[in-house]
Amino acid sequence: MSVHVSHKEPLLRIAKRASIPAWKAWLIRILSVVLALLLSGAFIYAITGLNPVEVYKAMAQGAFGSERRSWVTIRDAMMLLCIGIGLAPAFKMRFWNIGAEGQILVGGCATAGFMIYFGGKLPTPVLLLLMAAVSLIAGAVWGIVPAIFKARWGTNETLFTLMMNYVAIQITSYCVALWENPVGSNTVGVINQKTKAGWFPELFGQDYGLNVLIVAVLTVGMFLYLRYTKQGYEIAVVGESENTARYAGIKLSKVFIRTMAISGAICGLAGFIAVAGASHTISTSTAGGRGFTAIIVAWLAKFNTFVMVLISFLLVFLQKGAVQIATQFKLNDFASEVITGIILFCIIGSEFFIQYRLIFRGRKEAGKA
Amino acid sequence: MRGITKTFGPIVANHKVDLEIRRGEILSLLGENGSGKTTLMNMLSGIYFPDEGEILVGGQSVAIRSPKDAFDLKIGMIHQHFKLVDVLTAAENIVLGLREPGGLNLKAAAARIREICGRYGFQVDPEQKVYDMSVSQKQTVEIVKVLYRGADILILDEPTAVLTPQETEKLFDVLRNMKADGKAVVIITHKLHEVMEISDRVAVLRKGEYIGDVATSETSPQALTDMMVGRAVSLNIERPLVETRNLRLEVKDLSVRTAEGVLALDNVTFQAYGGEILGVAGISGSGQKELLEAIAGLQSALPGAHIIYHPPAPDEPVAGRHVPVDRAGEELVGKDPLQIRRIGVSMAFVPEDRLGMGLVGSMGMPDNMMLKSYRAGHGPLADRRPSRALAQKVKEELEVVTPSLSTPVRRLSGGNVQKVLVGRELASSPTLLMTAYAVRGLDINTSYTIYRLLNEQKKQGAAVIFVGEDLDVLLELCDRILVLCAGHVNGVVDARTATKEEVGLLMTRLKKEGEQA
């Protein structure tokens, strides 16, 4: 082995930041969004020759172009946020709940069933409360089952919750066949279209006012639960180290089951909101992959429910905008997904620059961002 | 190689340090925790890159950007935590990652390994799998690995922390052989008597700054400590004698099987008394961890075991620490930590794995203070005021160095992490205090603080169980020493009269019954 070493400093080094002021962290995040827009602009121009500014305008149009569109955007963001809030305690406990899809579906099925069988027989406020309750219970059951298996036999919760999704999809298919209307359509159709029994009433003069109210209460409630309660503290300890939790005298099985009941119940409630507060029908696509998208919402926000509000809106905005530019400029869906991908990549990537800083060759310890 | 000047990191770990390492010499690098010893050596071995200054090897300025660069310069480091693949043999581990022309030739490698072993007096079987090896054998493999790569400069980070006195002696013989062969050896250690025994020269770091170097023959442990700490420190460990000792804990026929099915403790029987420090000695992995965890309710015992806790009598000074109960003794076997606390046992436990078991790394000091007490008070909300006050108190009394109370404890240095943990456990006013390797990796100053705190607990009448690895400390601090060997109690000796050799032999030799079994 001969001594063959260059005498130069490496070109680039990475050092962990000791700390970073909050304004700087936010500046980096905002810069990352700007960079993302520039990159996708370049991409759009390279592929289509369209003016990127026009395309961005169209995206904004798609999401907030009219009052109706704005409310649909808000409704969808609330839905995503609700699921994210449900996932937060589970993931904070490092319990990989990949089963939100199934929890939403069983919550939705329970809601739809009550809507069909009790619509018109009970006053709407009573029916709504009843539907909320059964959706919570159904979701909680779907969450508890994998938790019990993990607590008792140490099964892997990721696989378990994932497989529970397929069970839920099959149950939903069965329900759709059972409640088919009109016969032969292979859909449930809009439930109680004439009577609107069991539909969310208008609140503040808005169709989706109640959706916003429910999710807003959950946002604040979950924030307080995780940060200030004894149970929230237990979740944090278990998530960090199961050994430490045992050492502290925390019963792991109890915390697993309790937390997954809460997580599943909130996801079930999201099913209730989706059925009674938005689509007024049930199908296997009621969850529509949002149970997975919400995982990104929960993690990106580091389980802070207020940050989740921002991220939910961003994701829904991107999705609405993507659909709009796809139709308006005859770009196909994939082009818009690329843009979404670029933007998410930049935002997630910005976290790296918040954690670490780069030092270039020849630069002394300037410590600049 | 000479003339290294560097500063490092956002926190200054090394500030303009000059260090000279000479061939044919053993250099001890001394310093308290966080004084930058390991950081400095990591820059030599290519793990970190210095921000300022230069490294010269053989008079030539070099840049060491990766461990590979370091190997090319014939610098090798043996880390505190071994980096070996368990399922491979010694020879396979040694050649792992090497790109030699002509492909992999294990036979030739084995021959070269034997040759290296012969030259320096190692004992390694190249065909032996790593999972079959003792800690000292694994360390030997690490050293051979470095030599195999042709290292001329060897850096050993606290190599003796995991060894028995006999094994340490063997290692030192090997190091002396290397020195005679013209190699440069740097050894990082906290044990002053070892420094005096093995090294030719001692370099001292304090708070990232280079204080100076002295020839070992011209200095003394006291002088070195003063250099390290920056002021005169007493090196004697106190051992107050407490007159009244009351039976606090009785362990009878305790056997524990680990999750892997290994019998970690085999019919262990002993008593611990209030007002006494009971030392537990043994090679690491002899069942110390299982013993403490079984008492704390974290390990289930095999049938037939009894762990009886005797509450202090009403006239004892620690009586107030225990909820008075009528019963004479409490059986702890079969109870979990919460149940043990609920029946009124005031037990403090400083586990070996500080961040993995005793503390929550991502939380700040206040949230860690409430780990065992967060259930206090009615209602669903956790009251953080007492824990914040306690965190402040611990920080001031134990001089915890932290940027702020809310800084995640994971970011603190090892010594400060331990202070947080010990501080919390002592604040619970225990009648029974168990510590596992309480001073492992801690500098002299912090270690003495811990000894002082343990002695205070003892004087107040608490029963202290001190699992340690440094026999000198065990013999100076404890009243009695229980020696574990492969899960057996090999004897309980009086620490005031026992010798180091006696305990060392008990640590390695199985009892007659064990041999027959």
Q: Is residue A16 a part of any domain in this protein?
A: no
Q: Is residue A190 a part of any domain in this protein?
A: yes
Q: Is the pLDDT of residue B9 over 70?
A: no
**Which of B370, B371, B417 has the highest number of chain A CBs within 10 A, making it the mutation to test binding with A?**
B371
Q: Is the pLDDT of residue B480 over 70?
A: yes
Please tell me whether residues B29 and B99 are part of one structural domain. yes
Contact A120/B at CB under 8 A: no
Nearest CA in chain A to B72: A3
The residues that bridge with B30 in the sheet, in sequence order, are: B204
Q: Is residue B504 a part of any domain in this protein?
A: yes
Q: What are the tokens at A162?
A: 């994932």
| Residue at which a domain ends, from B367, B396, B428 | B428
Contact in structure between B436 and B290 (CB atoms under 8 Å): no
Question: Residue B270: helix, strand or coil by DSSP?
Answer: strand
Q: Which of A13-17, B128-132, B387-391 is least confident?
A: A13-17
The residues that bridge with B272 in the sheet, in sequence order, are: B249
Residues of B in contact with A21 (CB under 8 A): none
More confident residue, B39 or A280: A280
Please tell me whether residues B92 and B67 are part of one structural domain. yes
Banded model confidence at residue B279, pLDDT cuts 50, 70, 90: very high
Q: Is residue A326 a part of any domain in this protein?
A: no
Contact B383/A at CB under 8 A: no
Residues of A in contact with B49 (CB under 8 A): 9-10, 13
Output the pLDDT for position B48.
76
Q: How many other C-beta atoms are found inside a 10 Å radius of the C-beta of residue A366?
A: 9
Distance from the B122 Cα atom to the nearest Cα atom in chain A, whole angstroms: 24
| Residue at which a domain ends, from B164, B199, B229 | B229
Distance of alpha carbon B311 from alpha carbon B293, whole angstroms = 20
Q: Could B356 and A232 be called an inter-chain contact, meaning their C-beta atoms sit closer than 8 Å?
A: no
Q: Is residue A169 a part of any domain in this protein?
A: yes
- Among candidates B442, B435, B452, B386, which has minimal Cα distance to B416? B442
Residues of B in contact with A367 (CB under 8 A): 10
Distance from the A368 Cα atom to the nearest Cα atom in chain B, whole angstroms: 12
Distance of alpha carbon B94 from alpha carbon B74, whole angstroms = 16
Please tell me whether residues B105 and B173 are part of one structural domain. yes
Expressed as residue numbers, the domain containing B402 is: 358-428
Q: Is the pLDDT of residue B405 over 90?
A: no
Summarize the confidence of residues A185-213 as an average pLDDT: 82
Distance of alpha carbon B399 from alpha carbon B452, whole angstroms = 14
Distance of alpha carbon B134 from alpha carbon B376, whole angstroms = 45
A228 closest CB neighbour out of B296, B357, B381 = B381
Please give the angle made by the CA atoms of B430, B433 and B435, to the nearest 5 degrees: 145
Summarize the confidence of residues B294-314 as an average pLDDT: 85
Contact B74/A at CB under 8 A: yes
Summarize the confidence of residues B216-229 as an average pLDDT: 81
Q: Is residue A47 a part of any domain in this protein?
A: no
Contact in structure between A179 and A190 (CB atoms under 8 Å): no
Contact in structure between B208 and B15 (CB atoms under 8 Å): yes
Summarize the confidence of residues B246-270 as an average pLDDT: 86
Distance from the A146 Cα atom to the nearest Cα atom in chain B, whole angstroms: 23
B51 closest CB neighbour out of A232, A240, A365 = A365
Q: Is the pLDDT of residue A366 over 50?
A: no
More confident residue, B348 or B486: B348
Nearest CA in chain B to A1: B72
Summarize the confidence of residues A200-219 as an average pLDDT: 86
Summarize the confidence of residues B81-105 as an average pLDDT: 76
Output the pLDDT for position B517.
34
B356 closest CB neighbour out of A16, A244, A251 = A244
pTM value is 0.77
Most confident stretch, A33-47, A79-93, B284-298, B478-492? A79-93
Please tell me whether residues B137 and B259 are part of one structural domain. no
Q: Is the pLDDT of residue A204 over 70?
A: yes
Output the pLDDT for position A3.
41
Q: Is residue A110 a part of any domain in this protein?
A: yes
pLDDT tens figures, B306-323: 888 888 776 666 655 555
Provide the domain count of chain B: 3
Q: Could B49 and A18 be called an inter-chain contact, meaning their C-beta atoms sit closer than 8 Å?
A: no
Distance from the B157 Cα atom to the nearest Cα atom in chain A, whole angstroms: 23
**Which of A247, A251, A255 has the highest number of chain B CBs within 10 A, making it the mutation to test binding with B?**
A247
Contact A154/B at CB under 8 A: no
Summarize the confidence of residues A302-324 as an average pLDDT: 87
Q: Is residue A147 a part of any domain in this protein?
A: yes
Q: Is the pLDDT of residue A170 over 50?
A: yes
Residue type, B515: E
Nearest CA in chain A to B336: A249
More confident residue, A204 or A87: A87
B72 closest CB neighbour out of A5, A16, A248 = A5
| Residue at which a domain ends, from B428, B457, B482 | B428
H/E element, B168: helix B165-180
Q: Could A244 and B360 be called an inter-chain contact, meaning their C-beta atoms sit closer than 8 Å?
A: yes
Please tell me whether residues B185 and B73 are part of one structural domain. yes
**Which of B14, B57, B64, B65 has the highest number of chain A CBs within 10 A, making it the mutation to test binding with A?**
B65
Please tell me whether residues B81 and B183 are part of one structural domain. yes
Q: Is the pLDDT of residue A169 over 90?
A: yes
Most confident stretch, A5-14, A61-70, A133-142, B263-272? A133-142
Banded model confidence at residue B101, pLDDT cuts 50, 70, 90: low
Please tell me whether residues B54 and B139 are part of one structural domain. yes
Q: Is the pLDDT of residue A289 over 80?
A: yes
Contact in structure between A244 and B356 (CB atoms under 8 Å): yes
**Which of A3, A9, A244, A368 has the highest number of chain B CBs within 10 A, making it the mutation to test binding with B?**
A244
Q: Is residue B353 a part of any domain in this protein?
A: no
Which residues, 6+ apart, have CB-to-CB distance to A52 below 8 Å?
A37, A40, A41, A42, A44, A45
**Which of B352, B357, B363 has the highest number of chain A CBs within 10 A, making it the mutation to test binding with A?**
B357
Distance from the B100 Cα atom to the nearest Cα atom in chain A, whole angstroms: 10
Q: Could B359 and A244 be called an inter-chain contact, meaning their C-beta atoms sit closer than 8 Å?
A: yes
Residues of A in contact with B336 (CB under 8 A): 246, 249, 251
Distance of alpha carbon B517 from alpha carbon B507, whole angstroms = 18
**Which of A2, A4, A5 has the highest number of chain B CBs within 10 A, making it the mutation to test binding with B?**
A5
Q: Could B360 and A240 be called an inter-chain contact, meaning their C-beta atoms sit closer than 8 Å?
A: yes
Nearest CA in chain A to B350: A247
Distance of alpha carbon A340 from alpha carbon A350, whole angstroms = 16
Q: Is residue B43 a part of any domain in this protein?
A: yes
Provide the domain count of chain A: 1
Q: Is residue B333 a part of any domain in this protein?
A: yes
Interface of A with B in 226-245 (CB under 8 A): 228-234, 236-237, 240-241, 243-244
Mean pLDDT of chain A: 85
Query: How many CB contacts within 8 angstroms connect chain A with chain B?
Result: 105
Output the pLDDT for position B14.
72
Summarize the confidence of residues B169-192 as an average pLDDT: 85
Q: Is residue B13 a part of any domain in this protein?
A: no
CATH number at residue B218: 3.40.50.300
Residues of B in contact with A2 (CB under 8 A): 72
Mean pLDDT of chain B: 81
Residues of B in contact with A231 (CB under 8 A): 380
Output the pLDDT for position A86.
95
Q: Could A9 and B49 be called an inter-chain contact, meaning their C-beta atoms sit closer than 8 Å?
A: yes
Strands B488-494 and B480-485: antiparallel
What does the buried/exposed string (b/e) look like for A228-243 if buried means 16 or more CB atoms within 10 Å of the residue's CB?
ebbbbbbbbbbbbbbb
Output the pLDDT for position A160.
93
Summarize the confidence of residues A249-268 as an average pLDDT: 93
Please tell me whether residues B368 and B458 are part of one structural domain. no
Q: Which of A137-151, A320-334, B411-425, B477-491 is least confident?
A: A320-334
Q: Is the pLDDT of residue A74 over 70?
A: yes
Distance from the B258 Cα atom to the nearest Cα atom in chain A, whole angstroms: 15
What does the buried/exposed string (b/e) look like for B301-321 if buried means 16 or more CB atoms within 10 Å of the residue's CB?
bbeebebbbbbbeeebebeeb
A6 closest CB neighbour out of B63, B150, B353 = B63
Which residues, 6+ apart, have CB-to-CB distance to B29 below 8 Å?
B37, B40, B41, B186, B187, B188, B203, B205
Interface of A with B in 50-79 (CB under 8 A): none
Expressed as residue numbers, the domain containing A146 is: 81-312
More confident residue, B278 or B111: B278
Distance of alpha carbon A126 from alpha carbon A198, whole angstroms = 9
Output the pLDDT for position A365.
42
Q: Measuring CA to CA, how many Å separate A82 from each of A94, A149, A165, A211?
A: 19, 26, 18, 10
A243 closest CB neighbour out of B73, B336, B356 = B356
Q: Is residue A139 a part of any domain in this protein?
A: yes
Contact A183/B at CB under 8 A: no
Please give the angle made by the CA atoms of A229, A235 and A241, to the nearest 5 degrees: 140
Q: What are the tokens at A329?
A: 């400029």
Q: Measuring CA to CA, how many Å separate B266 from each of A54, A190, B435, B489?
A: 78, 70, 21, 8
Summarize the confidence of residues B378-401 as an average pLDDT: 85
Q: How many other C-beta atoms are found inside a 10 Å radius of the C-beta of residue A304?
A: 17
Q: Could A8 and B72 be called an inter-chain contact, meaning their C-beta atoms sit closer than 8 Å?
A: no
Q: Is the pLDDT of residue A233 over 90?
A: yes
Output the pLDDT for position A215.
94
Q: Could A17 and B10 be called an inter-chain contact, meaning their C-beta atoms sit closer than 8 Å?
A: yes
A13 closest CB neighbour out of B49, B298, B370 = B49
Output the pLDDT for position B205.
83
Please tell me whether residues B340 and B221 are part of one structural domain. no
Summarize the confidence of residues A69-88 as an average pLDDT: 92
Please tell me whether residues B147 and B225 are part of one structural domain. yes
ipTM more than 0.90?
no
Please tell me whether residues B305 and B339 are part of one structural domain. yes
Q: Is residue B508 a part of any domain in this protein?
A: yes
Please tell me whether residues B392 and B424 are part of one structural domain. yes
H/E element, A112: helix A100-118
